[in-house]
């Protein structure tokens, strides 16, 4: 039985994997978070990996936040992610881990509106959007680090998944630091309880792909089954939705009056991704956005007192 070590286990994707663990009895699952192992400390990281001796690492740990955290804390987003990623990749190789899947984000792509769709070859073809450059450049270096290990050590299969905007249960629903869907769910919930308007920052016009966290967990295990696969891959549904459409989907559950406040930045207008590699590799049916948002809202309401907010 192979041991899988999952970093960032208390986060959105780590918990999504936990929900599916019973479907994969051929693996022994080991989860770590910052309370168990401080990945910013290399000695502690290496000692932990040596004690566990994993066969596979799924690297999900990161210093993350929404648009406004990315803008206001660029240095922290860059430095902490560079250190965490370096320590995990290096410790994995030192402990002879043969397979590693690391998680990137579509924010790593260049901010070039002339590109009709982004594919895996374009990660370094120009600077990212200034609003998230600290986080984006750190994630780009994670891709470089994985690729260099795979090139220098032929028995290492280290590659990156590039999911689009992730949402689902166990997300961070903080109004300022959370990503768009969880933040909007929380804001809409408060507006309902306080009988106020549901204010959405920005015009609502930017377009995004959204992927349910459980879908990513399923895709990770499908990729692990393809033992020779060792390439960066975008994980994205075909459909692209505006923030306005998403806000209205959320508000269908709460029935507030919506106001779009255009004095706030929209960030990058669109990040259309090309998922041809995924579609050619796997025949996968994604969770419908409406269904995924409704499941997430139900989980949010049921766990409001204890969730991250």
pTM over 0.75: yes
Does residue 11 lie within any of the structural domains? yes
d(CA 106, CA 306): 29
Which of 31, 135, 149, 158 does the annotation list as catalytic?
135
pLDDT band for 67, please (50, 70, 90 cuts). Answer: low
Does residue 132 lie within any of the structural domains? yes
Q: pLDDT for 145-186, tens place per residue? A: 999 999 999 899 999 999 999 999 999 998 877 788 999 999
Task: Reply yes or no on whether 135 is catalytic.
Answer: yes
Does residue 65 lie within any of the structural domains? yes
Does residue 126 lie within any of the structural domains? yes
Number of independent structural domains in the chain: 1
Q: pLDDT for 11-57, tens place per residue? A: 899 999 999 998 998 999 999 988 899 999 999 999 999 999 999 99
Can you give the CATH number for the domain in which 89 is found?
3.40.50.720
What is the domain range of residue 13? 2-168+209-239
Does residue 285 lie within any of the structural domains? no
């Amino acid at each position: 039985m192979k041991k899988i070590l999952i970093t960032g286990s208390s986060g959105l994707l780590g918990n999504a994997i936990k929900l599916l663990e019973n479907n994969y009895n051929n693996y022994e699952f080991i989860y770590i978070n910052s309370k168990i192992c401080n990945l910013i400390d290399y000695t502690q990281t290496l000692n932990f990996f040596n004690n566990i001796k994993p066969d596979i690492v799924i690297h999900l740990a990161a210093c993350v936040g929404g648009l406004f955290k990315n803008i206001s804390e660029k240095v922290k987003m860059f430095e902490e992610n560079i250190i965490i990623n370096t320590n995990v990749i290096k410790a994995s190789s030192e402990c002879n881990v043969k397979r590693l899947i690391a998680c990137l984000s579509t924010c790593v792509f260049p901010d070039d509106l002339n590109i009709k769709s982004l594919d895996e070859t374009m990660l370094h073809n120009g600077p990212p959007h200034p609003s998230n450059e600290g986080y984006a450049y750190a994630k780009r270096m994670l891709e470089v680090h994985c690729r260099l290990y795979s090139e220098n050590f032929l028995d290492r299969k280290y590659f990156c998944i590039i999911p689009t905007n992730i949402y689902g249960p166990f997300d961070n629903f903080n109004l300022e630091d959370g990503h768009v869907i969880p933040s909007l769910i929380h804001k809409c919930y408060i507006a309902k309880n306080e009988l106020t308007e549901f204010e959405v920052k920005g015009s609502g016009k930017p377009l995004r792909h959204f992927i349910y966290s459980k879908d990513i967990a399923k895709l990770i295990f499908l990729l692990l089954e393809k033992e020779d696969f060792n390439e960066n891959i975008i994980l994205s549904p075909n459909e692209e939705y505006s923030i306005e459409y998403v806000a209205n989907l959320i508000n269908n559950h709460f029935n507030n009056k919506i106001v779009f406040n255009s004095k706030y930045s929209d960030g990058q207008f669109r990040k259309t991704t090309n998922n041809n590699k995924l579609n050619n590799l796997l025949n996968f049916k994604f969770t419908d956005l409406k269904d995924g948002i409704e499941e997430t809202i139900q989980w949010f309401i049921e766990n409001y007192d204890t969730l991250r907010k």
